[in-house]
Amino acid sequence: MKNIEVKKIIKPITASDGAGVKLKRSIGVDPDYFDPFLMLDEFGSENKDDYIGGFPAHPHRGIETVTYMLEGEFEHEDSTGAKGRMCPGDVQWMKTGSGIIHSEMPAMTDGRLHGFQLWINMPAKLKMSKPEYIYIDSDKIQIYKDDEKQVKVIAGKFKNVEGKVKKHNIKPIYLDIEIKKNATFSLSIPLTHNTFIYLIKGEVKIGDKKHEEIKNSTLIVLEKGEKLNIKGTTNSKFLLISGKPIGETIARGGPFVMNTKEEIINAIRDYNNGTFVR
């Protein structure tokens, strides 16, 4: 069984999105696209001025957005009529398909906001499908615990614990992992998958080969393999995300990701004409 090693260690860039929400962006910059993953943002601040503007109404087509709240609360509303409040620990997995217009606004005027948004590509055959959601409240997320670690399973499986996201085309793995100093986390991953770690806090050692120090808010792109071993140099918290590549050419146009430039032009035309939502 081939062990998984570190391919690249990347410090996110500081960016902003929506109405000036400050964030750290990694996928979507370097690498620009890690099939099937299009973007990864970590948003978080204790200063309300960094997030109070939120993400006013904006469109998407051809992608999935996965929002995972660690701290703070967001109000969500969209063109399908769906409304809801995301609270700490909640997950919103949105398949935008043919098109959706939505907003995500902070339901708080002070305190700490912290979370992640991941964009996942959709294959051509699903890009114009009907939008749909998977909502996972924090108390519905299954957790594995022992003396050395805690693993929240959003998608995929760890030991006897299975995530709520199932029968998905990329066969995703999405884990929130906390390990104690000198403890080890191990997982078998399909050789087909592209995998990355996002270290939230602490310091870890990955695989058997020597690599530079990995500390706090760092993206670690992994080589393909079958067995992943991670050791906590300190008490640490990280996301492990993995998925099967789609292998299709993509075309980007801001919040739209399709397969051709013509399809992007059509999406913009639909939005401008008021025929975007179907």
Instruction: CATH number of the domain at 102, please.
Output: 2.60.120.10
Residues 6+ apart with CB under 8 A from 104: 18, 54, 55, 67, 74, 75, 76, 86
56: in domain? yes
Mean pLDDT of 109-113: 87
- Region of residue 226 (left: phi > 0; alpha: psi -120 to 50; beta: else): alpha
90: pLDDT confidence band, cut at 50, 70 and 90? Answer: very high
* Six-digit token string for 18: 């929506």
265: in domain? no
Name the residue with tokens 């809801």: 84
Name the residue with tokens 């997982």: 187
Residues 6+ apart with CB under 8 A from 81: none
The reported pTM is 0.95
**In this predicted model, what pLDDT tens digit does every residue of 215-224 receive, in sequence order?**
899 999 999 9
264: in domain? no
Please give the pLDDT value at position 36: 98
53: in domain? yes
Residue 67 has pLDDT above 90, yes or no: yes
* Six-digit token string for 178: 């906390």
Please give the mean pLDDT across all residues of the chain.
94
Please give the pLDDT value at position 2: 87
258: in domain? no
> What total of structural domains would you count in the chain?
1
Lowest mean pLDDT among 35-44, 107-116, 118-127, 191-200: 107-116
257: in domain? no
Mean pLDDT of 15-42: 90
Mean pLDDT of 240-247: 98
Name the residue with tokens 């789609």: 246
268: in domain? no
**In this predicted model, what pLDDT tens digit does every residue of 178-202 receive, in sequence order?**
999 999 999 999 999 999 999 999 9
278: in domain? no
* Six-digit token string for 77: 């509303």
Enclosing domain of residue 80:
6-248
Looking at per-residue pLDDT, the higher value among 221 and 133 belongs to 221
